[in-house]
Structure 1
């Protein structure tokens, strides 16, 4: 199975600076997305610190492991890397007054032979398009999601809520953070979308699904999603990562996977 990657960010229609950040290391199947928060340019600093740190540190570890690490090893490496990045951002926020209170969401995926190891913090999301159906495969760490889970709001009421951007978990806000991690099976033809709430708040799932189905090229799909979010108001920065899994290729009777040894 081979993977195709594409990433993009856009400032949107309402803001002057971009606090979203993305990073890829296609050689090891790593994709990272972050949506920063904080005054002045602090959110931009937090998101860029996080994506740069994870791409450098986790990317290097994945490369050095040469595909021999188990899924449990990768999970532990992801936890350690996010914890170290969290401390770096937290320390920067507490030693530089300009960065006080900064933090960031996170979606990080490691695509491996046994599946997608997906980690997230906050309300940036990951979706999977499979067989024409779009599924959200992360669950927001937000006050709104907690209200939905408790039955205090209906889905219709949540769509109109003013509390969409109140996260209950973020990287860099406290001296420790819990990364939620899950393993997802990858099937040929899957398309994975990581995005900030600048996309998911502007476009509902049905619209996202239709745009992905209408644009088989990842670059064209990315532009269509960004244009769609901006056409609906573009009230926030927009960041996205798209990853498509192609079919397995048989070589000497064995399936070939570019990110690990069989």
Structure 2
């Protein structure tokens, strides 16, 4: 079942005002309801390479695997859906590819990338992430951050050493404690939740969230809710108007209609010819 008429997916990436190349990568598959965003790091354009490997590898793996499964299956060991397990595996496979590429090329030594993945299926979502690229949900006129940054600063906030306001003003906000590709293995955070009609999901790199506060993101969501493309452009514009010190990428997925999984041979037969 294609989700093209049920979920509106858009995205845009920009170099910003300071960097001379873009180390962010984004990709989506509207039929699958799949979005992937990565923010690379490393010298000699290693970050650009790492984020591209991550996005390409994850998209290829999931584009092959997801259509083959039966939605509603749960992994007995973890309690997560089979979709979540496939996403986790795809990220771990990408991690090993990046790590191996870095080992084979000294110019790419130490390269890595953040990644955030959103999959919408059967009126649900799975969010998977590593690093400080984020996913927000806009529901009932309220913006909510659904991912937790893997940064040293976030750990200090969690332990009570910083307030959120102090953390935002810190010069050390980008010291990530977890990234894809910097070691042979990686831990992936997974989140599953119900999706409702009207939900709007925002994936973004820290080039957005380091430049503008959440309340401004929320205002932009409210003002441009009926035009996703304009919303993307306004988010990028505001990030650049507030300094544009990093590459900035945003992706949006707006739920237009319910999207239950097909069940039974008749619905699958109908979908082939629809």
User: TM bucket by the smaller chain?
Assistant: over 0.9
The answer for the alignment partner of 1:23 in structure 2 is: 27
Higher mean displacement: 56-65 or 37-46: 56-65
Q: Is the 8 A contact 1:10 1:239 kept in 2?
A: yes
Per-residue deviation, residues 87-127 of structure 1 (Å, max 9, x unmatched): 00001111101111100000001101141100000000000
Equivalent-residue separation in structure 1 for 2:238 and 2:182 (angstroms) = 32
Give the Å deviation of 1:74.
Answer: 1.3
Give the Å deviation of 1:58.
Answer: 1.1
2:226 matches 1:224: no
The answer for the alignment partner of 2:250 in structure 1 is: 240
Q: What is the DSSP-based 3-state SS (H/G/I as helix, E as strand, rest coil) of the residue aligned with 2:9?
A: strand
TM-score by length of 2: 0.89
Equivalent-residue separation in structure 2 for 1:172 and 1:240 (angstroms) = 22
The answer for the alignment partner of 1:100 in structure 2 is: 109
Equivalent-residue separation in structure 2 for 1:10 and 1:108 (angstroms) = 19
TM-score by length of 1: 0.93
Compute the RMSD of aligned alpha carbons: 1.4
Higher mean displacement: 60-69 or 175-184: 60-69
Structure 2: gaps (5+ residues): 75-79, 264-274
Alignment of 1:80-229 (within 5 A): 80-215=89-224, 216-229=226-239
Give the Å deviation of 1:138.
Answer: 0.3
2:69 matches 1:65: yes
Structure 1: gaps (5+ residues): 249-255
Equivalent-residue separation in structure 2 for 1:180 and 1:113 (angstroms) = 21
Q: Is the 8 A contact 2:133 2:206 kept in 1?
A: yes
Q: Is the 8 A contact 1:121 1:179 kept in 2?
A: yes
Q: Is the 8 A contact 2:72 2:81 kept in 1?
A: no
Give the Å deviation of 1:68.
Answer: 6.5
Equivalent-residue separation in structure 1 for 2:70 and 2:27 (angstroms) = 20
Equivalent-residue separation in structure 2 for 1:206 and 1:143 (angstroms) = 23
Q: Is the 8 A contact 1:68 1:261 kept in 2?
A: no
Give the Å deviation of 1:66.
Answer: 6.3
Q: Is the 8 A contact 1:107 1:120 kept in 2?
A: yes
The answer for the alignment partner of 2:269 in structure 1 is: none
Q: What is the DSSP-based 3-state SS (H/G/I as helix, E as strand, rest coil) of the residue aligned with 1:105?
A: strand
2:63 matches 1:55: no
Equivalent-residue separation in structure 2 for 1:66 and 1:226 (angstroms) = 38
Equivalent-residue separation in structure 1 for 2:84 and 2:220 (angstroms) = 32
Equivalent-residue separation in structure 1 for 2:213 and 2:88 (angstroms) = 31
Q: What is the DSSP-based 3-state SS (H/G/I as helix, E as strand, rest coil) of the residue aligned with 2:257?
A: coil
Q: What is the DSSP-based 3-state SS (H/G/I as helix, E as strand, rest coil) of the residue aligned with 1:178?
A: coil
Give the Å deviation of 1:212.
Answer: 1.2
Give the Å deviation of 1:34.
Answer: 0.2
Equivalent-residue separation in structure 1 for 2:242 and 2:181 (angstroms) = 31
